[in-house]
Structure 1
């Protein structure tokens, strides 16, 4: 069972409780120490005086935990410090085998951030173990938030967002043996049935009829058919006349095709190459569960990239859905080919804004590491700023790369309209410039999530494996669009 959140006006006596104390607290407030014996109060006071930020007290019948909020340069960084404190607290909760935790917030607005950090740390991919001894059921099942500044609606909204992140993480963590293109499409359909959005799955015949040359070309070497999934969330009373369209790369496993990746250093991680599709599914899930009044469409082209049979070969020329021709110089630059078809398809919706998500380039990772997301696009500066602000609020931070006209030269071909490979330099930008050609005339932003989408070592509440990065920032951005 996944962890869930609840709201209560008060907390019961003798409950396992964490108290969030304001920055600079040196003595316990009465309402945080009512059932502590005097020697224990003195101990906690000494720990606070020593500037300890996390204190644990075992009362034998119950536990008290104290988290001291840190005053950072900005409110966004203060909230992030509480998320990270939630990760540290979660380690204690695991050791103490706490099934239900109450959060009593004695600060203006710290409870949601702390709960978010605990809940994201508590995520656990169920996996496929059959040996009961090797299965690990988490003890923590429920977090109840208490505080005058909270409400059932606020807590439920966070719970809905977390469910979107959990789903995205699950999808990224699933191996190709359990998540080919058809299975991914079925998972997205199941998510829609659960959350409340519509799903249409285009099969090979319909993809071929649409002449989606990029998706079909990448799929040529695969024994499995491709899919193209259309998800639509259109609630009554939606505030936008034109939809927001989200596009996610759905390469369920990437061998590199005939431009084969090395192994084990690269290929064994390539189950995560559909993280963009997971982001789109997670965002739509969060929006629908929280009944956000916004019309949003999700598009996911999906296939694996394999070197079998009549696989796409370097120097092949293909015709895309848009009619543009592409010289394929590297079959491992396949993500941009399937995204390009989806972006051209997105134009038919006359969208307000198109956002695409892809684990697209190693260049983005080399530039900024796993600490942030590269983004670029043709949207107005105000939109780019609002996205950056959402990234700061959720700590899924964005770094904007330029899209100067000079970069167009990087993707020129002598025999086709475009090449799918740029120069050795500015690889993330040339990939973005390639995509730009297929979404001309529409405001658009591209997110290269190759760095943070999948982590090979634990990193605080982001954990190890699929992170669901970009779900929370996109939800934050779109939610604000619905309330303008």
Structure 2
């Protein structure tokens, strides 16, 4: 998709424009009325008096849209309403085949135009896909969104552009099928994005992974005809404010059949190209940080493979020796994501990080607990860091629900013959999975984000769309940039 955010001092006459109006507006301010004919102005003001929140005025050659801010319990929810208004706007612009729209903020909320533009930009995303029939291609004519005057600064517009590009990069990766994105291709795409954005990439091959004794990643890969990869992405600008890096870890299972513990299909396996959404999000965050030259040292770790039942595939009952030296009894080969993450979390400790955050489409239990409306979060970071992460989640509306990591849950992961089992009880599966991961990151502040619900949607949902959503990119960018002095 080629869509650009821009800034301009004024909007040209006879162009499609959006006016953001203060809460409770019933009369158009002069800057929104412009040279509207009396009848047209009366039509809009009558709609506003009727408490309509979204009013369309069709001039045939162009359109004017009037969006009234809504009263919401929190500022964050007001911004979310504007993102959703951006989605509504995109539907109208697409119908009119509008190529450029100008947004003017006449409300008291200084972030209103940015939020509307964000929802509009994300709603305009369409996965390019692989269709060859021109008639089947929808195509999005919108090419430019321009914020006018005090609606935003040029710096804010550029920053938002790069952030949303990171989201779309993650969406593209998640939406690609296995035959277009195996572990090596995934690593190559992450490296290409690094070349474009400015972060460095080191791709560890099978020989290096074996030398590091990453028993979890190697075991999951045993059934695959293609080798695993372990990508190390690093953004370390000269002016980084943090002495110790933040480390992001993303699950990179490019396709998950469940292995010998085969998933049922349809309904369970058919969407498993999305099982690398955590790794895709890590790539999107690093892209946005680097493109915006954010002065933070951040490292991304993405272990990648597919999980298949072929060849010498690992089996229930196997005992693995992990990168950390701990042993794990395999009870279910479909509990594979935690094995990759465990090796990566153990590897992350070598950096003596300020904080480690992992993202993974890890458990159905998280989906059953909070649905697609939120992700589950657990961890060992302190209360202040937790509060900051939850606040960031609300600001960008990628909400998190915190679950406990009580010691009682460690009993769920006990094994008779190894240090740990890779499968717990049927109850609280997202918590016991996190409790498993905790053993590999002990002594380091850490958050685990189970994004299994919101990472991939089977039905359209406003600006999140259908398919890969890019969940985690906006959240972690917001959280990390708020760490700046």
Question: What TM-score do you get using the length of structure 2 for normalisation?
Answer: 0.99
**TM superposition shift of 1:149:** 5.2
Question: What TM-score do you get using the length of structure 1 for normalisation?
Answer: 0.99
Instruction: Give deviations 1:14-58, integer Å, cap 9, x for gaps.
Output: 111010011100111111111211011111111111111111111
Instruction: Give deviations 1:305-328, integer Å, cap 9, x for gaps.
Output: 000011010011010010000000
Partner of 1:82: 82
* Structure 1 residue 209 corresponds to structure 2 residue 208: no
- What is the Cα-based RMSD across aligned positions, in Å? 0.7
CA contact (8 A) 2:104 2:151 kept: no
Q: 1:342 aligns with which of 341, 344, 362?
A: 344
CA contact (8 A) 1:355 1:445 kept: yes
Partner of 1:31: 31
Q: Which moved more, 1:445-454 or 1:34-43?
A: 34-43
* Structure 1 residue 290 corresponds to structure 2 residue 281: no
Partner of 1:50: 50
Partner of 1:444: 446
Residue segments in structure 2 that go unaligned for 5+ positions in a row = none
Q: Distance in 2 between matches of 1:133 and 1:398?
A: 41
Partner of 2:396: 394
**TM superposition shift of 1:133:** 2.3
**TM superposition shift of 1:61:** 2.5
CA contact (8 A) 1:180 1:304 kept: yes
Q: 1:381 aligns with which of 365, 380, 383?
A: 383
Partner of 2:125: 123
Partner of 2:461: 459
Q: 2:147 aligns with which of 145, 148, 154?
A: 145
Equivalent positions of 1:219-258 (< 5 A) are: 219-258=221-260
CA contact (8 A) 1:2 1:123 kept: no
Q: Distance in 1 between matches of 2:2 and 2:414?
A: 49
Q: Distance in 2 between matches of 1:156 and 1:256?
A: 42
CA contact (8 A) 2:113 2:151 kept: no
**TM superposition shift of 1:223:** 0.5
Instruction: Give deviations 1:366-400, integer Å, cap 9, x for gaps.
Output: 00100011000000010010000000000001100
Instruction: Give deviations 1:105-147, integer Å, cap 9, x for gaps.
Output: 1013210000001001001100011122222321101000013
**TM superposition shift of 1:436:** 0.3
Q: Which moved more, 1:157-166 or 1:147-156?
A: 147-156
Instruction: Give deviations 1:171-190, integer Å, cap 9, x for gaps.
Output: 00000010000000000000
Q: Distance in 1 between matches of 2:301 and 2:416?
A: 32
**TM superposition shift of 1:424:** 1.1
Question: Given the superposition, is the C-alpha separation of residues 331 and 185 from structure 1 closer, same or farther in structure 2, using an over 3 Å criterion?
Answer: same
Partner of 1:429: 431
Instruction: Give deviations 1:224-261, integer Å, cap 9, x for gaps.
Output: 10000000000110000000000000000000000000
Question: Given the superposition, is the C-alpha separation of residues 75 and 147 from structure 1 closer, same or farther in structure 2, using an over 3 Å criterion?
Answer: farther
CA contact (8 A) 1:274 1:358 kept: yes
CA contact (8 A) 1:217 1:318 kept: yes
Question: Given the superposition, is the C-alpha separation of residues 467 and 386 from structure 1 closer, same or farther in structure 2, using an over 3 Å criterion?
Answer: same
Q: 2:172 aligns with which of 166, 170, 173?
A: 170
Q: Distance in 2 between matches of 1:97 and 1:119?
A: 15
Q: Number of residues paired by the alignment?
A: 483
Structure 1 residue matching 2:306: 3-state secondary structure: strand
Q: Distance in 1 between matches of 2:9 and 2:284?
A: 30
CA contact (8 A) 1:8 1:144 kept: yes
Q: Distance in 1 between matches of 2:3 and 2:69?
A: 24
Q: Distance in 2 between matches of 1:189 and 1:433?
A: 32
Partner of 1:364: 366
Q: Distance in 1 between matches of 2:255 and 2:481?
A: 32
Partner of 2:482: 480
Structure 2 residue matching 1:456: 3-state secondary structure: strand
Q: Distance in 2 between matches of 1:382 and 1:144?
A: 37
Q: Distance in 2 between matches of 1:135 and 1:220?
A: 39
Structure 1 residue matching 2:270: 3-state secondary structure: helix
Partner of 2:12: 12
